[in-house]
């Protein structure tokens, strides 16, 4: 490496040496970062990701104040007991009655604690898809960071709820009318689980 000859005796890399050294330097740096994360027991964000995408139609006839079965689900096995699971869902749907469809998050078959507080006879849930009895498909989202304290498989699912008294059919990925026309949308829904290291 050339010497500047200055009183401070600061070495420098000329352009050709820098270009030659860069690939090896970047590879070494990447390996050191990976080794450091492994040594710290840190799985890192995004090293364990599971996603279910549903493009077909789910339909459930639900009594007043009832909840459907799993409209979409995904299972993840955490690598660390103290890791958290980021749940991200995007839901599209419609209903025959044109009322809102409730979105409910379930974990291993039981309703998640992530829902509104109890208040009289009001329905508890995460949110809703504003429905239309015609041909409109509307969308709702769920974003939640969950703590499970386990390395066993955990299944998350989204169920749809009817909270308007009368029986109605709840749809995932289609409108109630679903007329066969180019202007009518068939939607898609997804449920993504991301292990986030503590």
Q: In Å, how far are 3, 17, 28, 31, 66 from 20, measured between CA atoms?
A: 19, 5, 14, 19, 67
Q: In angstroms, what CA-CA distances link 23 with 28, 34, 35, 37, 179?
A: 9, 17, 18, 22, 57
| Same domain? 27 vs 114 | no
* Same domain? 122 vs 143: yes
Asked if 22 and 55 sit in the same domain, the reply is no
Q: How confident is the model at residue 123 (pLDDT cuts 50, 70, 90)?
A: confident
Domain identity same for 142 and 56: yes
Mean pLDDT of 11-31: 56
One domain for residues 30 and 54:
no
Distance set, CA 181 to CA 83, 135, 184, 186 (Å): 47, 10, 6, 11
Confidence at residue 18, expressed as pLDDT on a 0 to 100 scale: 46
What is the mean pLDDT of the segment spanning 134-163?
A: 90
CATH of the domain at 140: 2.60.120.1340
pLDDT tens digit string along 24-55? Answer: 655 666 676 666 555 555 555 668 999 999 99
Tokens at 69, concatenated: 């079965």
Using DSSP bridges, classify how beta strands 154-161 and 67-76 pair: parallel, antiparallel or unpaired.
antiparallel
Q: Other C-beta atoms within 10 Å of 7: how many?
A: 6
Same structural domain for residues 26 and 55? Answer: no
Confidence of residue 70 (pLDDT cuts 50, 70, 90): very high
Q: What is the pLDDT of residues 76-94, one digit of tens each?
A: 999 999 999 999 999 998 8
Query: CA–CA distance from 40 to each of 30, 46, 83, 103 (Å)?
Result: 16, 16, 14, 38
Percent of the residues in the chain that have a pLDDT greater than 90, as a whole number:
41
Q: Is the pLDDT of residue 98 over 90?
A: no
The residue among 89 and 7 whose pLDDT is bigger is 89
Residue 1 has pLDDT above 80, yes or no: no
Phi, psi of 68 (to 5 degrees): -75, 175
109: pLDDT strictly greater than 80: yes
> In this structure, are 106 and 170 located in the same domain?
yes
**One domain, residues 31 and 79:** no
Please indicate, yes or no, whether residues 121 and 96 belong to a single structural domain of this protein.
yes
Query: Are 87 and 31 members of one domain?
Result: no
At 170-195, the pLDDT tens digits run 999 988 888 888 877 888 999 999 99
Could you list the residue range(s) of the whole structural domain that residue 177 is in? 49-196
**pLDDT reported for residue 124:** 81
């Amino acid at each position: 490496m050339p010497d500047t000859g200055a009183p401070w005796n600061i070495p420098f890399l000329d352009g050709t040496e820098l270009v030659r050294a860069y690939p090896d330097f970047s590879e070494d740096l990447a390996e050191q970062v990976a080794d450091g994360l492994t040594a710290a027991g840190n799985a890192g964000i995004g090293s364990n990701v599971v996603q279910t995408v549903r493009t077909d139609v789910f339909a459930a006839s639900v009594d007043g104040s009832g909840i459907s079965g799993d409209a979409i689900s995904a299972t993840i096995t955490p690598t660390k007991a103290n890791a958290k699971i980021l749940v991200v869902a995007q839901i599209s749907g419609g209903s025959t009655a044109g009322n809102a469809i409730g979105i409910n998050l379930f974990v291993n078959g039981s309703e998640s604690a992530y829902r509104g507080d109890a208040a009289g006879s009001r329905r508890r849930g995460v949110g809703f898809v504003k429905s239309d009895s015609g041909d409109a498909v509307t969308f709702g989202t769920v974003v939640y960071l969950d703590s499970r304290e386990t390395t066993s498989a955990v299944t998350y699912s989204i169920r749809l709820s009817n909270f308007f008294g009368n029986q109605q059919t709840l749809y995932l990925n289609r409108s109630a009318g679903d007329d066969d026309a180019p202007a009518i949308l068939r939607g898609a829904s997804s449920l993504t689980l991301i292990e986030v290291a503590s």
